[in-house]
A = this chain, B = another copy of it.
Amino acid sequence: MDQTIIIADDHPLLLKGLKEFLNENGMNIIGEAPNGVQAMHLIETLKPDLAILDLEMPGMTGLEIAKHCQSKKLDTSIILLTLHKEVYIFHEAKNLNISGYLLKEFATEELLNCIQKVLSGQSYFSKKLLMNDAEDRNSLTGNLTPSEIKILRLIALGSSTKEIAEKLFIAERTVDKHRSNIINKLQLDKKHNALLIWAQKNKKIIF
């Protein structure tokens, strides 16, 4: 493998383990960073083929790095490593240049496979991230209609009513009405931002 890789993680032991593991498997690691800001800098200066990033890092998360790369039109492929099952990332990944997403827990089992796929232009997302919490989800969002769920997700991602309307090509008032219905179905307080707060808190469930 002559393709270049950088890695970033704020946990030094994990960074070390990752580096050793990749080296043992013949990968060409040209840079490593202990936080998101430095990782971004490495990507900009070294322009590696692949960046393997921790999702949660101080300064800049792996997700934010992906967004920056996209807006700066850098063609570094990105694999995210995460500790917890943040399923919502999977959905964001569609709009971003994220090619892989793995749990650290299973990293060695799947990492090589993932890297190979990504370096050959494909993408790889750990199935273990997808098949979970089906129960929680149903108990909470089972009553919601498909449109309502769509809107709820956009709210969770930080979109305003206006933005949602634009994205879904429907009227703001319609979105408004859906919000209202969602609030009723979830029996939220009739308080300002109650829906927003709920969506933020329950990100993991609604995706």
Interface residues of A (CB under 8 A from B): 10-21, 58, 83, 104-109, 136, 158, 160, 191-193, 196-197, 200-201
In the complex, what's the smallest C-beta–C-beta distance from A129 to chain B, in angstroms? 15
Query: Known contacts being A20-B20, A83-B83, A192-B160, is A13 close to B107, with CB within 8 Å?
Result: yes
Contact (Cβ within 8 A) B158 A197: yes
Contact (Cβ within 8 A) B10 A105: yes
Q: In the docked arrangement, what's the CA distance between A28 and B84, Å?
A: 32
In the complex, what's the smallest C-beta–C-beta distance from A190 to chain B, in angstroms? 12
Other contacts beyond A12-B106, A13-B104, A83-B83: 4, CB < 8 A: A14-B14, A17-B20, A160-B193, A193-B196
Cβ–Cβ < 8 Å partners of A200 in chain B: 197, 200-201
In the complex, what's the smallest C-beta–C-beta distance from A136 to chain B, in angstroms? 8
Give chain A's interface secondary structure class: helix
In the complex, what's the smallest C-beta–C-beta distance from A86 to chain B, in angstroms? 13
Cβ–Cβ < 8 Å partners of A12 in chain B: 17, 105-109
Cβ–Cβ < 8 Å partners of A83 in chain B: 11, 83
In the complex, what's the smallest C-beta–C-beta distance from A179 to chain B, in angstroms? 13
When the two chains form the complex, which single residue of B108, B191, B193 contacts A193, counting CB atoms closer than 8 Å?
A: B193
In the complex, what's the smallest C-beta–C-beta distance from A10 to chain B, in angstroms? 6
Q: In the docked arrangement, what's the CA distance between A29 and B197, Å?
A: 37
